[in-house]
Amino acid sequence: MADVQYGHFVAGQAVAGTSGRFGDIFNPSLGEVQAQVAMATAAELDHAVQAAQTAQPAWAALNPQRRARVMFKFKSLLEDNMDEMAKLLSEQHGKVIADSKGDIQRGLEVIEFACGIPHLLKGEYTEGAGPGIDIYSMRQPLGVVAGITPFNFPAMIPMWMFGVAIACGNTFVLKPSEKDPGVPIRLGELFMEAGAPEGVLNVVNGDKEAVDAILVHPDIKAVSFVGSSAIAQYVYATGTASGKRVQAMGGAKNHGIVLPDADMDQTVQDIIGAAYGSAGERCMALSVAVCVGDKTADALIERLLPEIDALRVGIATDPEAHYGPVITAAHREKISGYIQMSVDEGAKLIVDGRGFSLQGYEDGFFIGPSLLDNVTPEMQSYKDEIFGPVLQIMRTQTVEQAMNLASNHQYGNGVAIFTRNGQAAREFAQRVNVGMVGINVPIPVPVAYHSFGGWKRSAFGDVNQHGPEGIRFYTKVKTVTQRWPAGVVTDQSFVIPTMQ
């Protein structure tokens, strides 16, 4: 058994797991087990919920400025501990240090947004809605809420969730991925150091048993999830059946539409980073390039090849590496299987990354970049999310055909169009059936003060994450109609449903 063991973080302190079940945490660069993580029981999850429930009334009663001050302090502590956090993230996830810092930074931006909670929670007011009657609304917290987060962004996605939720006056139970729990635990510790009361942010590690306990717990009022579509659908169905608000973000197959007039030099650089960055383990990775016209496809491939050849795959701490290993050996084999599936289905394999091995780190979970041409819509390897450093090239003859590929795919997370034609880009953005659109922007993830969310099987639920949508998700509206009779002369009385 590994020397390092992660338990849980409940009511402001580390808590050892009691289930007797543990999962392995690998160092993907070395291919070695570096730690173990406890798998929570339903009873352990309930302990965290009770801690959150105990803390919630006083936290909600704290005025928004004081909650914002905790957020400001938390932001400062994260910035002070950025190097330590990025190192820990890279050791457990495998992404290079620059990507780990980006992971933390994008989460920090949501914390910055949450620092504005005194303004964001302001309601509406109408004076004189009737004789001596005023109406106003207020946004109030739900109570205890929970988040279930994936391995690929162990800092950003938890902060997307708990930053807004806690600022609104809720308390939070986080169930991070069991593959890289170190950073989420550290976030809990830093939040306490920032001045949050015990129980405001709790971290419970675990697997399906913990997830199911969250989904049916009567005291958890809302659940936010990011992961695969099959599990997102399960989370949404189970959570809503238990009377909870649920937002469940699923998989993706993001298309990049390349028009003949695109700035090809810039487009190539954009696609290289979007397809292969972070080993393709991003729900917003650009995994399909749809070229309008064979000349466009041939030109794109010709320019991609030297850039792919120049990509450096290395250990997570290599400052020269463009990307590191994938999360586990099993995931590497899954990616390899999709490459072979694509070939078997008739795609042309131009670059094969399956044979990649890093000298001195032969046991690491590395896979090189792969490029496939002549991919068609009926291929299963196109229909599925590969979630690795694999770029598929598709060819169409018209922009309409290219747009239909993105619009008709089962996933609808993100799409990008590369063109110099403003009219074509504007029409594309209006008509394409996808939730987030980039125009000459390869990964169109909105900034923190907008909201993130896809369509179709990329998202279950009606409310997106962070930004204004996050405020709406984590609060409920109360509307007050008031009249003060003293001094008001009126011959009207008010009854429902008529007024006499």
What are the catalytic residues? 283
Q: Could you give the CA distance from residue 269 to residue 280 in angstroms, rounded to a whole number? A: 15
**Strand residues in 235-384 grouped as ranges (E):** 245-249, 254-258, 286-292, 348-351, 370-373
Element (H, E) at 223: strand 220-226
Both tokens of residue 431? 């008509």
CB atoms within 10 A of CB 358: 18
- Residue 62 dihedral angles phi and psi, to the nearest 5°: -65, 135
Buried/exposed code over 14-43 (b: 16+ C-beta within 10 A; e: otherwise): ebebeeeebbebbbbbbbeebbbbbbbbbe
- Under 8 Å CB-to-CB from 461, ≥6 apart: which residues? 236, 245, 246, 247, 248
Pairing mode of beta strands 475-483, 455-456: unpaired
CB atoms within 10 A of CB 116: 14
